């Protein structure tokens, strides 16, 4: 394969809802570029893109697939992304490295929730966008109405560069207003002819709209257009390319990927008008420096995706931010300082791979057998001092479950499998919670988790149970209380004796210590699970020797890690140890640890103890006609609605909801809205649970304790 230069490269990502036809369109693009000699199909389970077992079985994309095609002397790198927002991490990575995302719209469904979500991402990343209206052969397809919907939603910058002669089952002809030609398709092959007279008026009207948009890209062009009322073809085409890069126009093309209609027109458009990497803003470093896509700079690249492939092992996909890389050269991982040898460079088209000798700035390429490099790592020339490239930012998880191998003998194997899943999918977070005594897996939705479960059970052969996760409650106090405890044990020989008197009170930021007991020594502990413990030594007259104070603190800390109410972590407490007794022979550290532990427990129960629960900020994006049902459901989950605002045809509801009420919310929301809504959630703070909830939790804990005795 030839080495393509930066100006010969085009990087696109196919974005859109499930069943929009992205994978089929990618298949057509590979066929048109001569990468494959026969088009596969989803129904026949033989596409280049959806080649993994789970995708073949489910007939939809679960992972993004890196592909490439060749057309008109250009290399077109294609990232085929999933359509469900449960796999949003794959979509985000694709948008991050694409120079022009291509939004594929299902002509019968129009704007979908994935369209909404990804549009916001492309705005945040300032990406130029092209629309492809696909499946125009469907009986419910309506070009004019969908164009109006897109313009109403995304503005009049959405401008058609093509229009169908007719839609529905007879769809086979497209008028291209850039080329001012009619393309009539038979078996995927286009016959090119002049535009019929009855369609010329519409074509000229659309072309004038494009010329006006092109003129807006440059002040001199705009002046010339207003003076002369026209532009030369060269001025028009150059101006249109600039307008696309500047996001002054979002072109709309037509297609039916099932019958390979419009694919060559799309590839021709990408070749001529999509920006090369050196025409768009380069990649930024974590320091904020901007790297331009230049091949004569020192090498740097961002690893944006990792996969594990049969017969290849771990494959790392990277976009080259600057310089060039050759097979057999060395690079440095800027994240961990590891030296890596690039043993192979591979141009990947799904399950098809071809070795290349070299790749340059702006290209997307893969390599294998790296020792310590994964997604979001930066590879650089050892002489480079740029540091790390800006990482891809992934959303907070919104679905959590506890997982357990059905056979305890598989526990260790399950741990290794989960580590691999986490490596290839950064939106999966795995942790063993010492507090909850569960392995907690957090991800983007129930479908996301079920895909992981399918892999674990089907590929790795480890039967798995998904269990409702426990909630990480916290315990605290609301008033001061005193308690004392004497630990005394005599069983022959040296005994045990320790007596501790203490007072506890709630900790608050900026508080002053009580004047009842002068503080002689003070230890402040920021707790790993949040909040503080303040330990004040108020002993006078040597009632307790200073050498026993650490033991008392240790006993308190043990009880804080297993709170007196429900066994949850306790927090935000001030302890005053103000009196006690010792025995000249029997006092020792274990005695005072136990005395401190029990005194703290008694004081805690008398100090107006309260259970705190985690509250999350939740944003729900829902179609306006489904908002009432969603609001009612949120209120039933003890949600406090903080506000609402419109975003196109969608409403964004902001609410604060206890984590305990969010279990399987993604499934409930999908059911309420027929899959048309989505949401995000992020931890906000801990708040006291209502009295009735606390009573229920205390009763459940008491029953659990009784069962374990």
> Directed axis angle between helix 233-245 and helix 263-273, to 10°?
90
User: And the tokens for 1?
Assistant: 């394969």
Distance of CA 114 to the CA centre of its chain: 13
250's CB contacts (< 8 A; 6+ apart) are 128, 129, 130, 131, 154, 157, 158, 159, 244
Q: Using one digit for the tens of pLDDT, what is the confidence trace for 100-156?
A: 999 999 999 888 888 888 998 898 889 999 999 999 999 999 999 999 999 988 889
Residues 6+ apart with CB under 8 A from 17: 83, 106, 109, 112, 113, 114, 115
CB atoms within 10 A of CB 169: 10
Residue 414: pLDDT band with limits 50, 70, 90: very high
Q: Phi, psi at residue 4, to the nearest 5°?
A: -85, 140
Task: Output Rg (C-alpha) for the chain, integer angstroms.
Answer: 32
User: Which structure tokens are listed for 668?
Assistant: 């409930």
Per the document, the length of the chain is 709
What three-state secondary structure class fits 210? helix
Q: What is the DSSP letter of 282?
A: -
CA distance 163 to 362: 32
Cα-to-chain-centroid distance, residue 11: 21
Own/partner contacts of 54-62, CB < 8 Å, gap of 24 or more, are 54/451, 54/454, 54/455, 54/458, 60/18, 60/19, 60/84, 61/22, 61/23, 61/87, 62/87, 62/451
Contact 671, 648 (CB under 8 A): no
HEC string for 9-67: EEEEEEECCCCCCHHHHHHHHHHHCCCCCCCCCCCCCCCCCCCCHHHHHHCCCCCCEEE
DSSP string, 80-92: E--SSGGGHHHHH
pLDDT band at 492; cut points 50, 70, 90: low
| In the chain, % of residues over pLDDT 90 | 76
pLDDT band at 227 (very low <50, low <70, confident <90, very high): confident
- Rounded to two decimals, the pTM is 0.88
The pLDDT of residue 585 is 86
Average pLDDT over residues 171-178: 95
Residue 31 or residue 225, greater confidence: 31
Per-residue model confidence (pLDDT) at position 441: 96
The pair of three-digit structure tokens given for residue 186, joined into one six-digit string: 């038979």
Tell me the pLDDT band of 709, cut-offs 50, 70 and 90.
low
| Mean pLDDT over the full length of the chain | 92
Nearest to 203 by CA among 164, 230, 171, 166: 164
Tell me what pLDDT residue 424 has: 93
- Contact of 362 with 320, CB cutoff 8 Å: yes
- How far, in Å, are 286, 374, 380, 386, 701 from residue 335 at the CA level? 11, 10, 10, 11, 45
Please state, in angstroms and rounded to a whole number, the distance separating the CA atoms of residues 541 and 516. 16
Asked if 130 and 271 touch (Cβ cutoff 8 Å), the reply is no
pLDDT at 700: 87
Residue with tokens 């209502």: 690
Query: What string of DSSP letters covers 597-633?
Result: HHHHHHHHHTS--EEEEEEEEEEEEEEGGGHHHHHHH
Residues 689 and 638: beta-carbon distance below 8 Å? no
Instruction: Please tell me the distance from the alpha carbon of residue 244 to that of residue 127, in angstroms, as a whole number.
Output: 9
Is residue 533 within 8 A of residue 557, CB to CB? The reply is yes
Which residues lie closer than 8 Å to 207 by C-beta, 6 or more apart?
177, 178, 180
Please tell me the predicted confidence (pLDDT) of residue 48. 93
285 contacts 329 by C-beta, under 8 angstroms: no
Measured distance CA(294)–CA(322) in Å, rounded: 5
Sorted by sequence, the CB contacts under 8 Å of residue 299 that are 6+ apart come out as: 320, 322, 323, 324, 325, 331, 379, 380, 381, 384
Query: Tens digit of pLDDT for each residue in 543-571?
Result: 999 999 999 999 999 999 999 899 899 99
| Strand 9-15, strand 100-106: pairing | parallel
- Mean pLDDT of all residues in 70-80: 96
The gap from C-alpha 569 to its chain's centroid, in whole angstroms, comes to: 29
Give the β-pairing of 158-160 and 358-360: unpaired
Q: Residue 675 — very low, low, confident or very high, per pLDDT cuts 50/70/90?
A: confident
Band (678; pLDDT cuts 50, 70, 90): confident
Q: Which 3 state secondary structure label does DSSP give 517?
A: coil
Rounded (10°) angle between helices 197-215 and 233-245: 60
184-198, 352-366, 510-524, 542-556: least confident range:
510-524
Mean pLDDT score, 474-497? 90
Predicted confidence (pLDDT) per residue in 371-411, tens digit = 999 999 999 999 988 999 999 999 999 899 999 999 999 99
Q: What is the rounded CA–CA span in Å between residue 570 and residue 609?
A: 10
Domains by residue range for the chain, with CATH? 9-210+248-277 (3.40.50.300), 283-380 (2.40.30.10), 403-470 (3.30.70.870), 475-608 (3.30.230.10), 612-693 (3.30.70.240)
Q: Please state, in angstroms and rounded to a whole number, the distance separating the CA atoms of residues 116 and 94.
A: 16
The answer to whether the beta carbons of residues 14 and 367 sit under 8 Å apart is: no
* Residue 681: closest CA among 468, 395, 474: 395
SS3 for 133-201 is: EECCCCCCCCHHHHHHHHHHHHCCCEEECEEECCCCCCCCEEEECCCCEEEEEECCEEEEECCCHHHHH
Exposure string for 68-97, b = 16+ CB within 10 A, e = fewer: bbbbeebbbbbbbbbbbbbbbbbbbbbbbb
To which H or E segment does residue 227 belong?
Answer: helix 219-228
Q: What is the DSSP string of 526-582?
A: E-TTSSEEEEEE---TTSS-GGGHHHHHHHHHHHHTT-TTTSPEE-SEEEEEEEEE-
In terms of pLDDT, which residue wins out, 574 or 309?
A: 574
> Tokens standing for 531?
């909040």
């Amino acid at each position: 394969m030839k080495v393509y230069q930066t100006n010969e490269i085009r990087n696109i990502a196919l974005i859109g809802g499930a069943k929009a036809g992205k994978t089929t369109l990618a298949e057509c693009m590979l066929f048109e570029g001569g990468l494959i000699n026969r088009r596969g199909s989803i129904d026949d389970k033989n596409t280049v893109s959806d080649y993994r077992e789970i995708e073949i079985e489910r007939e939809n994309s679960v992972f993004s697939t890196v592909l490439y095609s060749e057309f008109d002397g250009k290399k077109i790198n294609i990232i085929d992304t999933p359509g469900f927002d449960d796999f949003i991490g794959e979509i985000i990575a694709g948008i991050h490295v694409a120079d022009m995302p291509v939004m594929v719209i299902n002509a019968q469904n129009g704007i979908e929730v994935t369209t909404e979500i990804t549009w916001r991402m492309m705005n945040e990343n300032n990406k130029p966008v092209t629309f492809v209206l696909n499946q125009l052969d469907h009986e419910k397809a309506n070009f004019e109405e969908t164009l109006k919907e897109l313009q109403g939603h995304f503005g009049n910058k959405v401008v058609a560069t093509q229009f169908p002669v007719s839609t529905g089952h007879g769809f086979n002809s497209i008028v291209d207003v850039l080329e001012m030609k009619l393309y009539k398709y038979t078996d995927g092959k286009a016959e090119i002819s002049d535009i019929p007279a009855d369609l010329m008026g519409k074509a000229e009207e659309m072309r004038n709209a494009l010329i006006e948009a092109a003129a807006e890209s440059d002040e001199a062009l705009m002046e010339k257009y207003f003076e002369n009322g026209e532009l030369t073809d060269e001025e028009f085409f150059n101006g249109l390319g600039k307008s696309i890069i500047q996001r002054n126009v979002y072109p709309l093309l037509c297609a039916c990927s099932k019958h390979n209609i419009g694919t060559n027109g799309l590839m021709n458009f990408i070749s001529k008008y999509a920006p090369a990497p050196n025409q768009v803003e380069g990649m930024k470093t974590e320091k904020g420096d901007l790297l331009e896509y230049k091949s004569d700079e020192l090498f740097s690249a961002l690893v944006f995706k990792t996969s594990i492939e049969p017969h290849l092992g771990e494959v790392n996909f990277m976009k080259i931010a600057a310089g060039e890389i050759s097979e057999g050269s060395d690079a440095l991982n800027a994240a961990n300082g590891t030296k890596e040898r690039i043993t192979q460079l591979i141009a990947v088209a799904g399950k098809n791979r071809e070795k290349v000798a070299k790749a340059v700035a702006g290209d997307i390429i893969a390599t294998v057998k790296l020792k310590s490099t994964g997604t979001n790592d930066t590879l650089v020339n050892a002489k480079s001092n740029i540091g790390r490239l800006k990482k891809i930012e992934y959303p907070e998880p919104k679905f959590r479950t506890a997982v357990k191998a059905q056979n305890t003998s598989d526990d260790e194997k399950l741990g290794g499998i989960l580590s691999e899943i986490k490596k290839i999918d950064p939106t999966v977070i795995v942790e063993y919670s010492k507090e909850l005594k569960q392995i907690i897996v957090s991800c983007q939705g129930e479908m996301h988790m079920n895909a992981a479960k399918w892999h674990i059970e089907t590929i790795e052969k480890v039967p798995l149970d998904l269990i409702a996760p426990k909630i990480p409650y916290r315990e605290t106090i609301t008033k001061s209380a005193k308690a004392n405890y004497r630990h005394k044990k005599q069983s022959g020989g040296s005994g045990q004796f320790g007596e501790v008197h203490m007072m506890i009170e709630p900790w608050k930021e900026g508080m002053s210590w009580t004047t009842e007991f002068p503080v002689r020594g003070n230890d402040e502990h920021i707790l790993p699970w949040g909040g503080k413990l303040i330990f004040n030594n108020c002993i006078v007259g040597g009632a307790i020797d200073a050498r026993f104070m650490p033991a008392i603190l240790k006993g308190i800390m043990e009880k804080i890690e297993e709170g007196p109410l429900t066994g949850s972590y306790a927090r935000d407490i001030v302890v005053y140890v103000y009196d006690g007794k010792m025995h000249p022979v029997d006092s020792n550290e274990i005695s005072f640890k136990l005395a401190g532990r029990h005194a703290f427990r008694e004081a805690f129960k008398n100090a107006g103890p309260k259970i705190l629960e985690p509250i999350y900020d939740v944003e729900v994006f829902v179609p306006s006609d489904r908002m009432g049902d969603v609001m009612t459901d949120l209120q039933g989950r003890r949600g406090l609605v903080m506000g609402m605002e419109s975003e196109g045809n969608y409403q964004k509801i902001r609410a604060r909801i206890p984590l305990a009420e969010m279990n399987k919310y993604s499934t409930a929301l999908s059911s309420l809205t027929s899959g048309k809504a989505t949401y995000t959630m992020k931890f906000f703070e801990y708040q006291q649970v209502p009295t009735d909830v606390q009573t229920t939790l205390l009763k459940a804990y008491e029953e659990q304790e009784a069962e374990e005795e």
